[in-house]
C-alpha cells in the first residue's frame, strides 16, 4: 500500500504563494487472477512459455479483500501443452515476483510461490482473495451446459436424453454405451434450441441443426463431443478379449493425474505404454510400472498397454 501526497499551491492577487491543502491518497497493490487457458481477456506475458496467459484484475476497497465476478473458467489446455483441466494462480502487480497458489479448490489458502490451483468444475465463477491471509473462495454461479445424445432408437424416439460427462466445459464423453444401428443427434440442456448433427460416422464435424448421424453398425461405443468445435467421434469400446487375460486393473478411471495398475498377483510388468486413439505413443516407462502420471496429457481418451513377457494388458482410460 502506498500513500501519494498532493500539494496544491495558491498564488494570491498580492503575489504571495501559500499551501492551500495537502491531501493524502492511498493506492493499493494490484492483484489479479491469472490463468493458463483460453479465456477472452488481455494477454500478458508471464505464464509458462509466455503462452496462453491472461490476467483478470480484481477489485478492492481496503487493500485486503480482492474480488472478481462472472469469470468463465473452462479448462481448455494451454498453448504450452500443459493440460491440467484448468490452472490458476493469484499474483501481484502483473508479475510473478509475488504470487500465490495451492492444491485446494474451490476454497483454500494460497501460499507464496505455491502450486497451481486446479479448477475441477468448469463454469462461471465469482472469486475472492484475502491479501493478508491468502485465503480464497471460488463460487460457481453458472455451471456448464448439459450435452446429451438422443435418437430414433434410444428410449422414447427423439425424446429420451442420455447425458454425456463433461470435463472442461467443452469436451464431453460417454464411455461404453450400447448404440443401436439408427439415427441420433447431440443437443444441449435437453432442448432442441441448440442441437448438433452431421453426415459422417464414426467421426465427423457436426453443425448446428445439422442432419441426423447414422450409426452403423450397432455396438458398444465410447462417444466424444466438443461443444466448441462440434467435432464428434464414436470409438468401439475395447472388449474383454482385446484386454487380454492378464489379471490387471486400472484405477481411478477417469483420472486427473495418477493412474494405478491393480496387480493383485504381483505379475512382473516389463513396460507400460500410453498411446492416443490413433496409435501414437504418448509415453513409455519401464520403471515404477505400478503407477503412471498422466497429469500433463490433454483431456481425452487414451489407451494404456502393460507388457509382461509375451502377454499384454490393454485398457482405455479417460484423462479429465
Which string of DSSP letters, residue by residue, matches 92-143?
ETTEEEEEEE-S--SEEE-EET-PPEE--S-EEEEEEEETTT-EEEEEEEEP
What does the angle CA 250 – CA 252 – CA 254 come to, to the nearest 5 degrees?
105
Q: All 3 cell numbers of residue 174?
A: 460417454
**What does pTM read for this prediction?**
0.49
Torsion of CA 189, 194, 200, 203, to 10 degrees: -50
Give pLDDT, residue 109: 95
Percent of the chain with pLDDT over 90: 30
pLDDT in tens, 254-299: 788 888 888 878 888 899 988 877 677 888 888 888 888 888 888 7
As a residue count, the chain comes to: 320
Residue whose entry in the numeric block shows the C-alpha cell 491471509: 133
Decide: helix, strand or coil at residue 50.
Answer: helix
What secondary structure letter does DSSP report for 49? G
Give yes or no for a contact between 170 and 76, defined as CB atoms under 8 angstroms apart: yes
User: Torsions phi, psi of 172, nearest 5?
Assistant: -125, 150
Whole-angstrom Cα distance, residue 215 to residue 5? 73
Q: What is the pLDDT of residue 4?
A: 53
- Under the banding of pLDDT at 50, 70 and 90, the label for residue 133 is very high
Give the span between the Cα atoms of 301 and 299, in whole angstroms. Answer: 7
Q: Above 70 in pLDDT, residue 168? A: no
Cα distance between residue 211 and residue 232, in whole Å: 14
Which tens digit of pLDDT belongs to each residue from 24-53?
Answer: 566 899 999 887 644 433 333 334 333 345
Whether omega for the bond prior to residue 288 falls within 30 degrees of 0, making it cis, is: no
Q: Give the pLDDT band of residue 11 (cuts 50, 70, 90).
A: low
Encode pLDDT of 187-213 as tens digits.
999 999 999 999 999 889 999 999 999
Model confidence at 166: pLDDT above 60: yes
Among 229, 238, 162, residue whose Cα is nearest residue 196 = 229
Identify the three-state secondary structure at position 48: helix
Is the Cβ–Cβ distance between 89 and 103 less than 8 Å?
A: no
Amino acid at each position: 500500500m502506498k500513500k501519494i501526497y498532493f500539494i496544491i499551491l495558491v498564488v494570491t492577487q498580492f503575489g504571495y504563494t501559500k499551501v492551500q491543502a495537502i491531501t493524502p491518497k492511498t493506492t493499493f497493490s494490484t492483484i489479479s487472477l491469472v490463468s493458463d487457458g483460453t479465456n477472452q481477456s488481455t494477454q500478458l506475458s508471464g505464464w509458462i512459455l509466455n503462452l496462453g496467459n491472461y490476467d483478470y484484475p480484481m477489485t478492492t476497497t481496503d487493500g485486503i479483500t480482492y474480488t472478481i465476478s462472472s469469470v468463465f473458467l473452462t479448462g481448455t489446455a494451454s498453448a504450452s501443452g500443459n493440460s491440467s483441466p484448468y490452472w490458476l494462480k493469484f499474483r501481484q502487480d502483473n508479475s510473478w515476483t509475488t504470487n500465490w497458489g495451492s492444491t485446494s479448490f474451490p476454497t483454500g489458502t494460497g501460499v507464496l510461490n505455491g502450486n497451481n490451483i486446479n479448477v475441477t468444475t468448469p463454469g462461471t465463477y465469482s472469486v475472492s482473495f484475502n491479501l493478508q491471509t491468502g485465503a480464497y473462495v471460488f463460487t460457481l454461479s453458472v455451471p456448464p451446459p448439459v450435452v446429451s445424445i438422443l435418437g430414433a432408437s434410444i428410449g422414447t424416439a427423439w425424446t429420451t436424453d442420455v447425458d454425456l460427462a463433461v470435463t472442461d466445459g467443452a469436451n464431453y464423453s460417454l464411455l461404453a454405451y450400447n448404440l443401436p444401428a439408427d439415427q441420433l443427434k447431440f443437443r444441449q440442456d435437453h432442448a432442441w434450441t441448440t442441437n448438433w448433427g452431421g453426415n459422417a460416422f464414426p467421426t465427423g464435424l457436426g453443425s448446428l441443426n445439422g442432419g441426423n448421424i447414422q450409426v452403423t453398425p450397432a455396438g458398444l461405443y465410447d462417444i466424444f463431443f466438443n461443444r466448441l468445435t462440434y467435432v464428434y467421434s464414436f470409438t468401439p469400446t475395447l472388449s474383454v478379449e482385446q484386454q487380454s487375460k492378464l489379471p490387471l486393473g486400472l484405477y481411478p478411471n477417469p483420472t486427473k493425474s495418477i493412474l494405478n495398475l491393480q496387480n493383485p498377483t504381483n505379475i512382473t510388468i516389463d513396460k507400460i505404454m500410453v498411446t492416443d486413439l490413433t496409435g501414437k505413443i504418448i509415453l513409455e516407462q519401464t520403471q515404477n510400472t505400478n503407477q503412471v502420471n498422466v497429469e500433463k496429457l490433454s483431456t481425452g481418451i487414451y489407451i494404456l498397454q502393460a507388457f509382461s513377457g509375451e502377454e499384454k494388458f490393454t485398457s482405455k482410460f479417460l484423462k479429465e
